[in-house]
Structure 1
Amino acid sequence: MAAYWPEPIVSVQALSQTGVTTVPSRYVKPSHQRPVLNSAQSDAEMEIPVLDMGDVWGKPEGLMLVRKACEEWGFFQMVNHGVNHALMEKVRGAWREFFELPIDEKRKFANSPDTYEGYGSRLGVVKDAKLDWSDYFYLNYLPSSIRNPSKWPSHPTKIREFIEEYGEEVKKLCERLVETLSESLGLEPNCLMKALGGEDKVGASLRTNFYPKCPQPHLTLGLSSHSDPGGITILLPDEKVSGLQVRRGDGWVTVKSVPNALVVNMGDQIQILSNGIYKSVEHQVIVNPGMDRVSLAFFYNPRSDIPIGPVEELLTESRPALYKPIRFDEYRLLIRQNGPSGKNQVDSLLSSK
């Protein structure tokens, strides 16, 4: 894969801070991809499910709530999830402080498209592509053998400590969730984890997104429509500024943050493993004309070097395997080369293709 970006990298935050009044053309989306803001569409009052995990774990009726959310939405918000609320606030605040550092300090951690690890402002290496209105910091977390804290930010004070603490709590949450998803599909509790490669071999990464205020939010997106390529994603949203939108039919539902909640969504690998019973759903991020926004996405992914295909126990004569197996390292390369592209990636694996 290319080790360099096809064009010079521009920090969107630095661009926003100059006080520009129009969005540069490289960020202006084609008309059919632009967000619909403040629309009166019927989906506007809909909300993704909110699950109290105290009512889910260890309770058969709770498994049905999870299954319904995963089948119908592919997304839900979790409360009583077990992650320390004060820690959530500390790690989010520390990342806000990082993004407020001078641009020269942040550029010490500039990334390249070979691993994406570090500070960046674009996805994909397609020359002259339309870019998203966001900056980010991406870091590897699991397996621990690929973790390199020297690539993590060193300022503000304690940010590395907070990343480590938050990562460990969310890792435990993901392990419990994978077991819950397995049981909700009628499988043995450890079935999905084994299919992902085992909890000591799974991968995980953290992407902190910074969406600067934007003078023309109707022309661009903070993150283009896509489904997540991995297993499950745990999102720590910005409680003050909404931005995440989930596709619902032909429209979009803006997710309204619930205090101290985490958002979970199914990635493409869970859609593949469940043979299409659970869906990875397209989502995108809109930007705000007057406020910056920060969110943290923790991606819990399969072991990268084993084929991932539908779980055998879920196959029947009437519902044979819908997807061709693929290794996650091959699959992830598609989005790293091309950037976000709706559901094109997982659809390309359909056996009928």
Structure 2
Amino acid sequence: MKMGSKVENGGKDEDGEGLGWGSSLPVPSVQEMVRNDSKTIPERYIQKHEERPLDSQMCQVSFEIPIINFSLLANGDEEERGKLDFACKEWGFFQIIDHGVADEVLTKMKAAVEAFFALPLVEKQKYAMAANDLQGYGQGYVVSDQQKLDWNDLMFLMTLPNKYRNFKYWPTTIPGFKEAVEQYSEQIQKLTCEIFANLSILMGMERNGLEELHGEMKQGMRLNYYPTCFKPELVLGVSPHSDASSITLLLQDDDITALQIKHDGGWVPVKPIPNAIVVNMGDAMEGWSNGMYKSIEHRAVTNAMKPRISVATFVIPAEEAEIGPLEPVLQNSCSPKMYKNVKYVDYLRYTLGGKMDGKSSLQLLKLESE
């Protein structure tokens, strides 16, 4: 797919092609709508009654998702690796603490996101998504003029490898933006490699097993802004979905609980731990693990008091990588094969071709008998 203009200082290749994974229709800025009229919610944002974030949907038991001490994990602690295995099997989500990413790096990354969304709309629109690409400022997964919309604005950037960075989408008027993203990206990549090393061992492979399966591993960042909503019970910041990535690492505001995950049939709020990073399994990992590590449906709610930001970093396998149950997993579990072998780019295009709809995309991976 051709982007509107030639990529400068990076991008897919010399003739300026975009990612080629899909596109999203342009919609109005929610941030701007709230700024102009905070007491009106357009009909397209009011969720159907069964989709609204109702208290009755919350888990009746008080749950807290597992916490992994990254320092112990990186030092080969068997007990901590066992906790990781439990977290991935039973929850698909966990928070990592003592991860070694400096507070300053996290603070600068959050400040960069805040600075971008503080720009005037006319300035942000200079970085708007092209009509046939997913990078840039806008909204994701908008595929029709009829679907309900999420109460957020976003900026999506490819961050690794360096050659995939398209700097026409990186704001140049914000001092330190590029440096903040690069520093954070580098630190997240280190965490990713260590998590993969431990998961590889748990899945019966050598430490570099998952990294090799990814091929040319990519990293993409979704910078999210959730404006306040005077009736937050009518809208969703992000609709229920699972991630098409192998894993996702989330940096979120420390003082606002908005992320919720599906567990035991109800929604569990993920209370932020200051400077922790939330990690979740993606659909690719579910396929590779033959369902041992499941990707989990999650959503974000809004509030009436304070806007919220977050940074979701997606770890993305190479387009030609194959997603399907790994032989060591099948041998160790003695389970029948429950997922097909699918080329990753085909799965990615399939998921990006529709709206967010729980785990419906996984049907492409599952065998008929499942």
TM-score after normalising by structure 2: 0.89
* 1:340 matched residue in structure 2: 356
| 1:330 to 1:5, Cα distance in 2 relative to 1, 3 A | closer
CA distance in 2, matches of 1:27, 1:40: 21
Structure 1 residue corresponding to 2:268, chosen from 253, 256, 279? 253
**1:1-353 alignment to 2 at 5 Å?**
9-37=27-55, 41-43=59-61, 45-57=62-74, 58-112=76-130, 114-197=132-215, 201-316=216-331, 318-352=334-368
CA distance in 2, matches of 1:202, 1:272: 17
Amino acid corresponding to residue 12 of structure 1 in structure 2: V
> What root-mean-square deviation, in Å, do the aligned CA atoms of Structure 1 and Structure 2 show?
2.0
| Contact residue 76 and residue 263 of structure 1 kept, 8 A | yes
Amino acid corresponding to residue 292 of structure 2 in structure 1: I
Runs of at least 5 residues in structure 2 that lack an aligned partner in the other structure: 4-21
| 1:25 to 1:107, Cα distance in 2 relative to 1, 3 A | same
Offset, 1:334: 2.2
3-state secondary structure, aligned to 2:268: strand
Q: How many residues were matched structurally?
A: 349
Cα deviations across residues 218-258 of structure 1 (Å, max 9, x unaligned)? 11100000000011101001112121001112211111111
CA distance in 1, matches of 2:327, 2:131: 35
Amino acid corresponding to residue 82 of structure 1 in structure 2: G
Offset, 1:40: 7.0
| Contact residue 70 and residue 266 of structure 1 kept, 8 A | yes
Offset, 1:211: 0.4
* Identity between Structure 1 and Structure 2 (%): 36
CA distance in 2, matches of 1:205, 1:69: 24
3-state secondary structure, aligned to 1:42: coil
Offset, 1:176: 1.2
Amino acid corresponding to residue 33 of structure 2 in structure 1: L
3-state secondary structure, aligned to 2:84: helix
3-state secondary structure, aligned to 1:236: strand
* Comparing 262-271 and 137-146, the one that deviates more: 137-146
CA distance in 1, matches of 2:50, 2:57: 15
Amino acid corresponding to residue 68 of structure 2 in structure 1: L
| 1:180 to 1:135, Cα distance in 2 relative to 1, 3 A | same
3-state secondary structure, aligned to 2:79: helix
